[in-house]
Amino acid sequence: MAILSFVGFTLLVAVIAYIATRKTDENTSDGYFLGGRSLTAGVVAGSLLLTNLSTEQIVGLNGQAYTEGLSVMAWETLAALAMVVTAIFLLPRYLKGGLTTVPQFLETRYDKSTKTIASALFLLGYVIILLPIVLYSGSIAISDMFKIPELLGVSHTTSIWICVWGIGIIGSIYAIFGGLKAVAVSDTVNAIGLLIGGLMIPVFGLLMIGDGSITEGISTLMTEAPEKFKSMGGPTNSVPFSTIFTGMMLVQLFYWGTNQAIIQRALAAKNLKEGQKGLLLAAFIKILGPLIVVLPGIIAFQMFGPELETPDRAYPLLVSAVLPKALLGFFAAVLFGAILSSFNSALNSSVTLFSIDFYKEYINKDASELAIIKNGKYFGIVLAILSMLIAPLIANAPQGLFGYLQEVNGCYSIPILTIIVVGYLTKRVPALAAKVGIVSGSLLYIISQFIVKPMMTNNAVEAAKASGITDPDKLAEIGTLAYPHYLHVMAILFVANIIIMLIIGKIAPRKTDFELEYTQKVNIEPYKFLVPVGLAICALVIAIYAYFS
């Protein structure tokens, strides 16, 4: 029964995506990469949410919530603020310039080589970090839910390889052969399924804890584990409260405002009004995200206690414990859709970056649009295979999948955000400053997090041991506090790079002021309720933090 419902829902999504995209002209760049610039607010919102919400988040963030509680909700609730900022300030400029990729702006504002460096960083981040982690985390979930090792009589490692290649091949078909619209439509259908399926887990969990009563379940949670319902994380938490005012908002702005895999959905909007409404709708729904990616982790702590050796197993174990067997196939199909969404969205964006920013720019400047798309598909196949080869090697990610993903992403996220912010807010900062900013930002972050931090942490722990401290928890706390949190480091480097760029702009400014031209590819009349709706969303986020403080 579970297998039948899984296959049935998965096929339903594929059929709907096919019907919705069969009349889209996939032989033009706008048609293939941006769905013909035809996406409406609902499709933009659904695709944004599903591209973001995948197993590395559902499994990883619930794992952090199991350990730390509600403080990790910052990854969800503060995303709403970033989407509001993107809708008000960034999207109007993107659509005014008629962009297909974010790095295209960097060429207009700075020069071609700046765009190439940024595109290369995006591609490296996708193939080495994002795509493999999505495949790996998704494969763990599918393997555990369907008990693939027992079903096929193979080892756990072999089952991970099987799931990685299964997910990778199906996701590649959507992304490479269907174009953005197929991805966006399938995302929207899966988004509905994920909201239903994702909310089922905490509901059934609370019913189990409360002996058939949701209110009793909530009361039991808040009475027996009150420490899990504090919105403000302490200094040793993965998200200390102070980071909300430093690197956390920068990471959110990069992700929702400049990350090609995300913002490409808004770039494909039929006009500015639809794009802004889509972002605001997604922002409002994102505020409800902790119900799916935080609350289940707290429920798992109540049910299983603190004994789980691997926090990332909290969510899969909870699903197995509370979900009726008849619904397992549907939920697995929904989760499978979420995995596919993040994978094929990042893959589609990678193909877009390669085709527009590399193939047409450096390999064949005279290529027809059909040739650009064709060679982009070939690149996508190679990229997918590389990701599927790398994914099973992520066997023991430090600090959990989600924390690992966020820290490593800093290698390219903050440098790219820095040069985009300076590019829009200044008119005379030159291309040289952008190159220095993006290279220095990446190198300084790598040196900080992967050379200096381990050295200082080890020194602090050894010094503590030498003074007679042997308690493992105390040693771990000393190691954590020995070096600034990576989100603080991001903020420090962001400010430092801006200062460096402004100094260079003062010493060797552009000869002319930069002016953003209106390409008239889409109507850029803004949504008339943009500001009041945006302010209401911001007020709601502040109210949630105040209530749980």
Q: What is the DSSP string of 128-152?
A: IIIHHHHHHHHHHHHHHHTTHHHHH
pLDDT level of residue 63 (50, 70, 90 thresholds): confident
pLDDT level of residue 13 (50, 70, 90 thresholds): low
DSSP-based three-state secondary structure for 240: strand
pLDDT(150) > 70: yes
The whole-number pLDDT of residue 79 equals 94
Closest residue by Cα to residue 432 from 120, 115, 111: 111
pLDDT level of residue 505 (50, 70, 90 thresholds): very high
pLDDT level of residue 184 (50, 70, 90 thresholds): low
The whole-number pLDDT of residue 308 equals 79
Q: Quote the distance between the C-alpha of residue 263 and its chain's center.
A: 11
Of residues 176 and 425, the one with the higher pLDDT is: 425
Mean pLDDT for the stretch of residues 474-478: 83
Contact 422, 433 (CB under 8 A): yes
At 75, which amino acid appears?
A: W
Distance between CA 239 and CA 528 in Å, rounded?
Answer: 36
pLDDT(88) > 90: yes
User: How many CA within 13 A on the CB side of residue 247?
Assistant: 23
Name the DSSP class of 233. B
Distance between CA 183 and CA 265 in Å, rounded?
Answer: 10
**At a CB cut-off of 8 Å and minimum separation 6, what does 443 contact?**
none
The whole-number pLDDT of residue 226 equals 86
Closest residue by Cα to residue 398 from 346, 448, 454: 454
**Residue pLDDT, tens place only, 372-388:** 777 877 888 888 888 88
Q: How far is CA 388 from CA 136, 345, 408, in A?
A: 9, 15, 19
pLDDT(32) > 50: no
CA angle, residues 239, 342, 332, in degrees to nearest 5 = 95
Name the DSSP class of 526. P
Of residues 435 and 21, the one with the higher pLDDT is: 435
Of residues 136 and 179, the one with the higher pLDDT is: 136
The whole-number pLDDT of residue 28 equals 47
Residue length, the chain? 549
Of residues 370 and 291, the one with the higher pLDDT is: 291
pLDDT level of residue 277 (50, 70, 90 thresholds): very high
Distance between CA 388 and CA 133 in Å, rounded?
Answer: 10
Among 115-129, 255-269, 301-315, 343-357, which is the least confidently predicted range?
343-357
* Best mean pLDDT range from 60-74, 160-174, 175-189: 60-74
pLDDT level of residue 529 (50, 70, 90 thresholds): very high
Please count the structural domains in the chain.
Answer: 1
The whole-number pLDDT of residue 33 equals 43
CATH code, 264 = 1.20.1730.10
Among 4-18, 55-69, 189-203, which is the least confidently predicted range?
4-18
Q: How far is CA 299 from CA 202, 315, 322, in A?
A: 7, 9, 11
Distance between CA 411 and CA 456 in Å, rounded?
Answer: 20
Among 95-99, 167-171, 187-191, which is the least confidently predicted range?
187-191
**Which pTM does this prediction carry?**
0.81
pLDDT(26) > 50: no
The whole-number pLDDT of residue 194 equals 75
Domain that holds residue 12: 2-18+26-547
Question: pLDDT > 90: what percent of the chain?
Answer: 30
pLDDT(353) > 70: yes
The whole-number pLDDT of residue 131 equals 82
**Residue pLDDT, tens place only, 391-408:** 877 655 544 556 667 778
Buried b (16+ CB within 10 A) or exposed e, 42-56: ebbbbbbbbbbbbbb
pLDDT(190) > 60: yes
pLDDT level of residue 281 (50, 70, 90 thresholds): very high
Question: pLDDT > 70: what percent of the chain?
Answer: 86
Mean pLDDT of the chain, nearest integer: 82
**At a CB cut-off of 8 Å and minimum separation 6, what does 99 contact?**
105, 267
Mean pLDDT for the stretch of residues 512-524: 86
